[in-house]
Amino acid sequence: MNYPNGQKKQINQQNKSVKTNNNIFSNRGMSLEEDINTTNTYYLETDIAIIHKKPTPVQIVKVNYPRRSAAMITEGYFKQASTTDYNGLYRHRYIDFEAKETKNKTLFPLANIHDHQIRHMEKIVKHGGISFIIIRFAAYDETYFIPAEKLFPHWHDKLNGGRKSISYEKIKEEGHIIPFHYQARVNYIKIIDRLYFH
């Protein structure tokens, strides 16, 4: 699959699982995306919230037909830059967020976020929606909820020649750790309740 910058990506590439430990609260090898998808399914089935992963529009370029009844997409590219990963509704409020995983132990590189995503998140906040980023530090098996309002100053500081990352310590200070739960693996709704519906 071709990204807008012309680089190719295998369509069938599987997510790499993060390192796990024997702790009962381990993510059991699942990626952050898988954990969030599992959580969102739980929210939907228990009628807590309606949150979905946004589909990425793809332009199909080449299709092979190995047999008459089957077609295989062999080349394609993303038609436009995506916004954020997830959106939906919770308690009459629009929810919109991005999810990122890093193997770095000391910081979260801001290069993992794109300018169009920040602009999108700023518009969500301006119009009364709830926007945030979920960051997992794979080395520590820790997942953090960072409100968009806390992310914006770091982004604008970077644009003005400041730090190109957010330190792990700063994320611990400004973010909210999301404990692992069996059904709601990344139970971000509990954080939303505490921050926006107290």
Residue of 7, 11, 13 lying closest to 71 (CA atoms): 11
User: For the ranges 63-72, 84-93, 113-122, which has the lowest average pLDDT?
Assistant: 63-72
Residue 119 has pLDDT above 80, yes or no: yes
- pLDDT at position 195, please? 97
Residue 139: pLDDT band by 50, 70, 90 thresholds? very high
pLDDT score at 81: 63
- Split at pLDDT 50, 70, 90, the class of 71 is confident
Which domains does the chain carry? Answer: 43-55+81-196 (3.40.1350.10)
User: Is 83 annotated as ligand-binding?
Assistant: yes
With 80 as the cut, is the pLDDT of residue 23 above it?
A: no
Of the candidates 3, 95, 84, 7, the residue with the CA atom closest to the CA atom of residue 43: 95
- Report the chain's mean pLDDT, rounded to a whole number: 85
- How confident is the model over 155-170, as pLDDT tens digits? 999 999 999 999 999 9
With a pLDDT cut of 90, the percent of the chain lying above it is 67
Q: Is 142 annotated as a binding residue?
A: no
State pTM to two decimals.
0.77
Q: What is the mean pLDDT of residues 39-63?
A: 90
Residue 146 has phi, psi (to 5 degrees) of -115, 115
Average pLDDT value for residue range 43-70: 86
Residue 155 and residue 157: Cα distance in Å, rounded?
5
Higher pLDDT, 182 or 137: 137
Q: Measuring CA to CA, which residue among 153, 137, 154, 149 is closest to residue 97?
A: 149
Residue 59 predicted with pLDDT over 60: yes
Enumerate long-range contacts of 178-182, CB under 8 Å, 24 or more apart.
Answer: 178/134, 178/143, 178/144, 178/145, 179/25, 180/25, 180/26, 180/27, 180/141, 180/143
Phi and psi dihedrals of 143, rounded to 5? -120, 130
56 annotated to a ligand binding site: no
| Span 133-149, average pLDDT | 97
- Given the structure tokens 């792990």, which residue do they identify? 168
Does the annotation list 98 as a binding residue? yes
What are the φ and ψ backbone dihedral angles of 117, each rounded to 5 degrees? Answer: -70, -40
d(CA 151, CA 100): 13
Maximum average pLDDT range among 13-22, 34-43, 60-69: 34-43
CA dihedral 24, 30, 33, 37 (to 10 degrees): -70
193, pLDDT greater than 90: yes
Task: Calculate mean pLDDT across residues 8-33.
Answer: 48
- Contact indicator for 94, 129 with CB cutoff of 8 Å: yes
Answer yes or no: are the C-beta atoms of 30 and 38 closer than 8 Å. yes
